[in-house]
Structure 1
């Protein structure tokens, strides 16, 4: 396996992880990060392949449970405004 260039930001992150004492070397930090990535990818695949089709089937069986797109857009816009004002 070739060496990997992490860049300054991630090099500092790895250094902090090592200083915390949680990890013994950079390889342990990278392996932990890869495990998290693997778990995240698996969860996304489950969501796309299992949850989304199930929700779609529910919506097709009972269309009145759906939310109009205008309502969804308004909710997103309100959330964005709130986040912008909180800064």
Structure 2
């Protein structure tokens, strides 16, 4: 039951409706609303993991003491690598 702070929300699931209903029919969930809430919790966990991964990668990059490469050197190196792999001129 929704608390006073929560207002009911209507969501159109479109092609996902059948998948949500199948989960209810299987007994894993009591209602489609419960399926949606579980999906949102899973999305929250996934986004939190991605945030942690990105923070770790940024920290790793910031801690890297190797000298920076000019962007043009990176572009020309990638173009040369692509040319070698495809046989097409850079």
TM normalised by structure 1 equals 0.60
After superposition, the C-alpha distances for 1:9-48 in whole angstroms (9 at most, x for unaligned) are 2100011101111111111101110000111111111122
Question: Structure 2 stretches of 5 or more lacking a match?
Answer: 1-7, 68-73, 86-90
Runs of 4+ in 1 over 2 A off after TM superposition: 60-63
Question: Structure 1 stretches of 5 or more lacking a match?
Answer: 78-87
Q: Which has the larger radius of gyration?
A: 2
Aligned length: 66
Q: Which structure has more helix as a fraction of its residues?
A: 1
Q: Give 1:37's aligned residue.
A: 43
The reply to whether residue 4 of structure 1 matches residue 11 of structure 2 is yes
What's the Cα RMSD here?
2.5
TM normalised by structure 2 equals 0.58
